[in-house]
Amino acid sequence: MCLAFPGKIVALKNQQATADFDGVKKDINISLVPDVAVGDFVIVHAGFAISQLSTEDAWEVLKEYEKGTKMNHV
Amino acid sequence: MTISLDYGGGGAKSSELIKQVRKILGGAGKWQNSGDDSASLALSKINLSKKACQNQHLLLTTDAFIVDPIFFPGGDIGKIAVCGTINDLAVMGARPLGISLSIVVEEGFPKADFLKIIKSIAKVSKEAGVPIVTGDTKVTEKGKLDKIEITTAGIGMAEKVINNAGAQVGDVVIASGDLGEHTVALLSERFGYRSRVSSDCKPIDKEMLAIGKFVHAAKDPTRGGLAANLVEMAEKSKVKIVLDENFLPYKKETIALGGLLGIDIFSFASEGRFLATVSEKDAAKVLRILKKFNAQAKIIGKVQKPVRRRGGGIYLQTKLGSLRPIEMPNGKLIPRIC
Amino acid sequence: MYKSEKSLPKLLSKIEKVASQIKRNVVLMEVCGTHTQTVSKNGIRSLLPKNIKLLTGPGCPVCVTAQEDIDAVVALAKAGIPIATYGDMLRVPGFFGSLEQARSQGAKVFSVYSVQEALDLKKDFPDLVFFGLGFETTTPMTAMALQNGLTVYSSHKLFLPAMDALLEAGQTKIDGFISPGHIATIIGTRPFEHLKVAQVIAGFEAEDVLVAIYLLLCQIRDGRKEVENEYVRLVKKEGNQVAQKLIWENFKICDGNWRGFGKIANSGLEVKNPELNAKIKYQNILAKIDFSQAKKPTGCRCGQIIRGTLSPKQCPMFGKVCTPENPYGPCMVSEEGACNNYLRYA
């Protein structure tokens, strides 16, 4: 339902930032994620960054989950 | 300065503009154009023996061009008009002989832009060695047209006419380079994206002629992109075409833009590429030739026996190992948010 | 981002194994249009074990936008009020045509990719109305546009009340849901907890969906009904609080009107500020729409079809008055909807 795409913040100015999506650059609005910095990855929906991406990979989570060391239900 | 209605009225301004356009476009090559109602070509000038004539076909194509925006990274409406016409002939195996050019301009169109477009037409026509042999210009009242529209006709000659119905089971499908970059250039310009990708717009006649004798079926994936044009090829050839997701002919920027706008890249158009099927034994040879023109030329899939119930159709062998259909795109490229 | 493509065959064999442990037919559902795309683009259905069926839910916010709302905005457009909305909305018909048709008849209708473009258009067209639609993911952007003085016709909806209705309205044969990762990005994981069904909040790459299917099957095998979060790289327990604040500052809850389902209590969002609420500002135009003239065929069974209790061809409207060209319910509007697909492939 909500098409969103990951991009890397390459420049910042007030509530506007430039994000790089695999070589395609676009100015985006970052007012919903006020704490982002250059170099961070964000997910962008309809021209707005909606959240910051962490490097945590679900595959890793899955492995830990199976070992019983980390429950990923909330 | 802008173009007013007088420029298309047949009076002094008209003939002044026509003179200017003809000067930019240069001569008509082997064609005769005395400024009269038609251009003519003496067949003796194309060096054909009587015997050779018996095996030759004349090919005629026509196309109308409206592009938004008119100028984009890598080209403009004029360049597309010439390339598109040459390519429609080339992809059918023909050597293009000449092009006619008919332009309709909206009143108030900047004259400098008009001349820029004509210069661009002249440049690509000269480089390709395909003359603009006759033409016409009309001006419409403001609001009756969106800026400019170009219609061309092209005439060519071929010994072997190639079409998109000849794909044979066992063939491989070759892309002459990465696809979709014309659409990337247009969408980037329209929606404010920036990348190193510019339009792939260029004539493909030299490449096509170089491999023509090996080709079973060919198509230039313009409007509708790979999806529409291969679906059509599969249907007409009554075969199934299976593409390999590991060898898709798209740059990462193209894939990213498709993802960002929610538009299927298989429907992205190219204006200087073709898709061809050749028998597997000729594939390496053909690829070697094509790589001289474009290092990105590659085999993207194979032609198989049709599924009995569904007939033709094209499929993607995904990285996951599944086989999924690629469908005919449904018209205009509209970005999605969901 | 997921870069572990080599893990794919391993994932498939894990799914195979759990599925064989379950020993009965299992019905899973994805409820997000972008999940639908991931599933179809990667041919995931054809890879699943025979006893696992993956259904497509009600579809995207565009597909569930009620005919009445489209007709209202078309009426505004025809009355000379410039309209801006997301491109995917233009072609979807109400009872009296689509915004695209209104545009071809001379109405000023603009397709935008972001509310920023609508705000830019407002400089040239001060009366511009933004037709706002979408779930929680898209609502914060409209909220921001409201703060910048843009007039809005809101068709925004809340996702969870619809899930509640879907689960409560009748017998459901759905064992587990792949829940929408980008909605969870905004609202967090907690609101999903009250749905008493197995759920995995998932991202949108093929790997994400496969991990979600695997986790769901584990829950079903073990008899658990929990909310699990596969999309850990993005979705946080508390969601995006800046975005939530923006929504509640600018919108209030109302009943939502859903295409094919009708009214669902407390599932809609209305603009708080009456001066920027197009439904109030232009009530004189909207009141004149004569819905008694609308051809409203009866018998849409989308609700049951989505819940998997009815097949598309059992709907009396299917393929007759309801077609992809002239769709009635969301299952026919969405290209991936059950009815649309059934008509194209079966």
Same structural domain, B123 and B17? yes
Nearest to C42 among B261, B318, B330 (CB): B318
Q: Using CA atoms, how far apart are residues B277 and C298, in angstroms rounded to an integer? A: 51
* Residues C211/C217/C218/C223 CA torsion (nearest 10 deg): 150
Calculate ∠ Cα B175-B181-B186, nearest 5°: 150
Contact predicate B317/B243, CB 8 Å: yes
Is C233 an interface residue toward A (CB < 8 Å)?
yes
- Averaged pLDDT for residues A46-74: 68
Looking at B125, B158, B191, the residue that finishes a domain is: B158
Amino acid present at A32:
L
Chains in touch with C (≥3 Cβ pairs < 8 A):
A, B
What mean pLDDT is reported for chain B?
92
Q: What is the structure's pLDDT at C235?
A: 94
For chain A, the structural domain boundaries read 5-67
- Please state the rounded mean pLDDT for residues C28-35: 88
Q: Which domain holds residue B134?
A: 5-32+50-158
Q: Which residues of C18-47 are buried (b: 16+ CB within 10 A; e: fewer)?
A: bbeebeeebbbbbbbbbbbbbbbbbbbeeb
Q: Does the pLDDT of residue A64 top 70, yes or no?
A: no
To the nearest whole angstrom, how far is the Cα of B317 from the nearest Cα of chain C? 9
Grouping H, G, I as helix, E, B as strand and the rest as coil, residue B112 is: helix
pLDDT digits 0-9 by tens, B42-73: 888 876 666 666 778 999 999 999 998 999 99
Who among A1, A48, A57 is closest to C34 (CB)? A1
* Contact (CB, 8 A) for B279 and B177: no
On whether both B127 and B226 belong to a single domain, the answer is no
Q: Between C139-147 and C115-124, two packed helices, what is the crossing angle to 10 degrees?
A: 30
Q: How far apart are CA C129 and CA B24, in angstroms?
A: 48
Please give the residue that has the higher pLDDT: either B114 or C56: B114
What is the ipTM metric for this complex? 0.87
- CATH at residue B153: 3.30.1330.10
In this prediction the pTM is 0.89
Query: Which candidate, A54, A40, A50, places its Cα nearest to that of A12?
Result: A40
* Among the ranges given (B251-265, B275-289, C30-44, C220-234), the one the predictor scored with the smallest mean pLDDT: C30-44
Beta strand ranges found along chain C (DSSP E)? 26-30, 52-56, 83-86, 109-112, 129-132, 151-154, 176-180, 198-202, 227-229, 251-258, 262-271
Q: Does residue B197 sit in the same domain as residue B82?
A: no
Higher model confidence: residue B34 or residue C151?
Answer: C151
Burial (CB count within 10 angstroms: exposed 0-12, middle 13-18, buried 19+), residue C51: middle
Q: H/E element holding C116? A: helix C115-124
User: pLDDT value at position A63?
Assistant: 66
pLDDT number for residue C5: 58
pLDDT of residue A69: 44
Mean pLDDT of all residues in C179-197: 94
Domain-located, residue B232 = yes
pLDDT at C327: 86
* CB contact (8 A) between residue C138 and residue B191: no
Residue listed under structure tokens 């509530």: A15
- More reliable by pLDDT, C296 or B232: B232
Structural domain count, chain B: 2
Within a domain: residue B40? no
The predicted pLDDT at position C303 comes to 78
Backbone angles phi, psi at C324, to 5 degrees: -60, -30
Q: What is the percent of chain C with per-residue pLDDT over 90, rounded to a whole number?
A: 64
Give the model's pLDDT for residue A67.
Answer: 60
> Across residues C242-270, what is the average pLDDT?
94
- Please provide residue B218's backbone torsions phi and psi, each rounded to the nearest 5 degrees: -150, 155
Task: Please check whether residue B334 lies inside any domain of the structure.
Answer: no
Residues B201 and B267 in one domain: yes
Q: Is the pLDDT reported for residue C23 higher than 50?
A: yes
Q: Does B323 touch chain C (CB under 8 A)?
A: yes
Q: Which two tokens stand for residue C177?
A: 């849901």
Tell me whether C242 touches chain A (CB under 8 Å). yes
**Given an 8 Å threshold on Cβ–Cβ distance, is C182 in contact with A61?**
no
HSE value, Cβ hemisphere, 13 Å, CA-based, for B115: 13
The answer to whether residues B201 and B178 belong to one domain is yes
| Better pLDDT: C303 or B116 | B116
**Best of C39, C111, C113 to mutate (most B CBs within 10 Å, chain B):** C113
Q: What's the rounded Cα separation, in Å, for the pair B85 and B98?
A: 10
Partners of C110 on chain B (C-beta within 8 Å) are: none
Q: Could you read off the pLDDT of C98-137 as tens digits, one per residue?
A: 999 999 999 999 999 999 999 999 999 999 999 999 999 9
B146 in the same domain as B71:
yes
Contact status, residue B301 vs residue B242, Cβ threshold 8 Å: yes
CATH number of residue B179's parent domain = 3.90.650.10
CB contact under 8 A, A5 and B260: yes
Mind telling me how many Å the CA of B300 is from chain C's nearest CA?
A: 17
Which tokens is C14 given? 């894990």
B311: left (phi over 0), alpha (psi -120 to 50) or beta: left
**Cα R_g (chain B), whole angstroms:** 21
Asked if residue B62 and residue B12 are part of one domain, the reply reads yes
Q: Do B324 and C12 touch (CB under 8 A)?
A: no
Whether pLDDT at A71 is above 60: no
Q: Do C180 and A1 touch (CB under 8 A)?
A: yes
CB nearest B322 (choices: C5, C34, C46): C46
Q: Tokens 């170099």 map to which residue?
A: A39
Last residue of a domain, one of B118, B133, B158: B158
Question: DSSP state, B137?
Answer: E
Question: What is the arrangement of strands in the sheet containing C129-132, beginning at the earlier edge strand?
Answer: C109-112, C83-86, C129-132, C151-154
How high is the mean pLDDT in each 10-residue block of chain B (338 residues)?
Answer: 85 86 88 85 75 81 94 96 97 96 96 97 96 94 95 95 95 98 94 94 96 96 95 93 96 95 93 98 97 97 83 87 87 77
Residue B164: inside a domain, yes or no? Answer: no
> Residue B142: inside a domain, yes or no?
yes
What are the residues facing B198 on neighbouring strands?
none
Query: B214 with B320, same domain?
Result: yes
Domain A5-67 in CATH 3.40.190.170: no
Task: Tell me if C338 sits within 8 A of C55, measured CB to CB.
Answer: yes
CB B164 within 8 A of CB B275: no
Contacts of C151 (CB under 8 A, 6+ apart): C127, C128, C129, C130, C276, C277, C278, C281
Chain B neighbors of A45, CB-CB under 8 A: 337
- Residue A49 and residue A41: Cα distance in Å, rounded? 10
In the listed set B158, B191, B212, which residue is the last one of a domain according to the structure?
B158
Q: Domain ranges in chain C?
A: 17-295, 302-345
pLDDT at B305: 93
Q: Which of C4, C33, C116 sits opposite A57 (nearest CB)?
A: C4
Average pLDDT of the residues in C26-30: 92
Helices (H), chain B: 12-25, 50-54, 77-90, 111-128, 181-191, 205-211, 225-237, 252-261, 280-293
Task: Give the residue among B109, B188, B136 at the shortest CA–CA distance from B18.
Answer: B136
Do B144 and B74 share a domain, yes or no?
yes
Domain C17-295, CATH number (from 3.40.50.970, 3.30.2350.10, 3.40.50.300, 3.40.50.11740): 3.40.50.11740
User: Contact C1/A53, CB-based, under 8 Å?
Assistant: yes
Q: What are phi and psi of A41, to 5 degrees?
A: -100, 135
CB contact under 8 A, A51 and C236: yes
Bridge partners of B213?
none
Q: Can you list the alpha helix ranges (DSSP code H) found in C194-270? A: 206-222, 241-250
CB contact under 8 A, A24 and B188: yes
Q: Is residue B336 part of a domain?
A: no
Q: How far apart are CA C214 and CA C209, in angstroms?
A: 9
First to last CA, chain B: 45
Question: Within an 8 Å CB–CB cutoff, is residue C214 touching chain A?
Answer: yes
As to burial, measured by CB atoms within 10 angstroms (0-12 exposed, 13-18 middle, 19+ buried), residue B331 is exposed
* B299 assigned to some structural domain: yes
- Burial classification of residue C223, based on how many CB atoms lie within 10 Å of its CB (0-12 exposed, 13-18 middle, 19 or more buried): exposed
Answer whether B259 touches C (CB < 8 Å).
Answer: no
At B21 the three-state DSSP class reads: helix
Cα dihedral sign, B119-B121-B126-B131 = negative
